[in-house]
């Protein structure tokens, strides 16, 4: 793949906007723009909203939990098939999921297809970029966070070098933003944090609004599955260690590419912090 430059595969500035938006959705307080779903469990918060007048929607499920937040960042290292193989076996709607291309330690291109679960709705497929992030000393709305760790997913543009063709009989859906965001506030115990599952998606195609309204809140309940399966993070890492950390894919780019990206992240992070501070000042005026 020597003909490709890093920027041909990863649009760094666009991705940083996606990352900022994902974290913002996870950390922002619930206001009147959200609909609150009755989870029948005081420990689980699920809210959702429609995007404009389309079938696109955003849903957020949140819980508090205990664990080693840094393990999740290590778990999110790219190039391993184990997580995707397991999901295909365990998710009755997932018909295919695989790494198309390992970009670097922090990024990979994923293809996935799913049955809809409704006989009148065609199955969907996606080509996405999956990455990981770790922020320290993060400030949002005047609240300080010791650490934020996330695995994030968003759809590639149609003209992306590794965009896979739409599978026969499927509709190409768009993941606007998706991922688990783990956030640890200053002052919290080292092993306590909050996890939010975010799904912002345009399912595309012709889907009756009542069906969208029916399945959207349930998507947020995925956060409960995440907490229940948290033990798998450690067990998966142990299995990888026993296998000598052997990956099933060879990266297109090595660490110098990552360092270049990190440098861009640092400069844009400073801009972000300034924007958040200015936004908070305006809110105080209101």
Q: What is the pLDDT of residue 239?
A: 98
Q: Average pLDDT of 55-74? A: 96
Q: What is the pLDDT of residue 264?
A: 56
Q: Average pLDDT of 209-235? A: 90
pLDDT tens column, 245-266: 999 999 999 864 554 555 555 5
Q: What is the pLDDT of residue 177?
A: 97
Q: Average pLDDT of 10-32? A: 95
**Structure tokens that stand for 232 in this block:** 């798998």
Q: What is the pLDDT of residue 273?
A: 58
Q: What is the pLDDT of residue 254?
A: 82
Q: SS3 letters for the chain?
A: CCCCCHHHHCCHHHHHHHHHHHHHHHHCCCCCCCEEECCCCCCCEEEEEECCCCCCEEEEEEEEEECCHHHHHHHCCCCCCHHHHHHHHHCCCEEEEEEEEEEECCEEEEEEEECCCCCCCCCEEEEEEEEEEEEEEEEECCEEEEEEEEEEEEECCCCCCCCCCCCCCCEECEEEEEEEEEEEECCCCCCEEEEEEEEEEECCCCCCHHHHHHHHHHHHCHHHHHHHCCHHHHHHHHHHHHCCCCCCCCCCCCHHHHHHHHHHHHHHHHHHHHHHHHHHHHHHHC
Q: Binning pLDDT at 50, 70 and 90, where does residue 216 land? A: confident
Flag the least confident range among 157-166, 216-225, 230-239: 216-225
Q: What is the pLDDT of residue 281?
A: 44
Q: What is the mean pLDDT of the chain?
A: 89
Q: What is the pLDDT of residue 284?
A: 39
Taking the CA atoms of residue 80, residue 63, residue 265 and residue 151 in that order, the dihedral angle to the nearest 10 degrees is: 20
Asked if the model's pLDDT at residue 229 lies above 70, the reply is: yes
pLDDT tens column, 96-117: 999 999 999 999 999 999 998 8
pLDDT tens column, 144-202: 999 999 999 999 999 999 999 999 999 999 999 999 999 999 998 889 999 999 999 99
> CB neighbours of 83 closer than 8 A, spacing ≥ 6?
236
pLDDT tens column, 264-277: 555 555 555 555 55
Q: What is the pLDDT of residue 208?
A: 75
- pTM score, two decimals? 0.88
Percent over 70 (pLDDT), the chain: 88
Q: What is the pLDDT of residue 155?
A: 98
d(CA 131, CA 147): 17
Flag the least confident range among 134-138, 155-159, 215-219, 234-238: 215-219
Q: What is the pLDDT of residue 205?
A: 84
């Amino acid at each position: 793949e020597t003909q490709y430059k890093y920027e041909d595969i990863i649009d760094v500035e666009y991705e940083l906007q996606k990352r900022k938006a994902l974290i913002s959705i996870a950390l922002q307080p619930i206001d009147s723009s959200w609909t609150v779903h009755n989870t029948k469990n005081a420990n689980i918060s699920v809210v959702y909203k429609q995007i404009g007048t389309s079938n696109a929607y955003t849903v957020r499920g949140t819980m508090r939990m205990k664990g080693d937040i840094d393990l999740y960042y290590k778990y999110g290292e790219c190039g391993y098939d184990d997580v995707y193989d397991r999901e295909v076996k365990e998710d009755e709607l997932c018909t295919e999921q695989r790494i198309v291309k390992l970009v670097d330690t922090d990024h990979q291109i994923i293809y996935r297809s799913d049955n809809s679960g409704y006989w009148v709705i065609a199955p969907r497929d996606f080509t996405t970029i999956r990455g990981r992030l770790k922020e320290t000393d993060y400030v949002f709305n005047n609240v300080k966070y010791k650490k934020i760790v996330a695995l994030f997913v968003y759809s590639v543009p149609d003209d992306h070098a590794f965009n896979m063709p739409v599978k026969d009989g499927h509709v190409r859906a768009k993941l606007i933003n998706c991922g688990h965001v783990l956030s640890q506030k200053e002052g919290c115990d080292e092993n306590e944090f909050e996890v939010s599952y975010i799904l912002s998606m345009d399912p595309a195609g012709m889907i009756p609004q009542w069906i969208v309204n029916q399945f959207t809140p349930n998507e947020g309940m995925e956060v409960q599955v995440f907490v229940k399966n948290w033990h798998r993070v450690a067990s998966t890492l142990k299995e990888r260690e026993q296998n000598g950390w052997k990956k099933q894919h060879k990266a297109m780019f090595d660490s110098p590419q990552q360092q270049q990206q990190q440098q861009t992240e640092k400069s844009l992070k400073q801009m972000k912090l300034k924007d958040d501070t200015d936004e908070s000042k305006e809110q105080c005026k209101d």
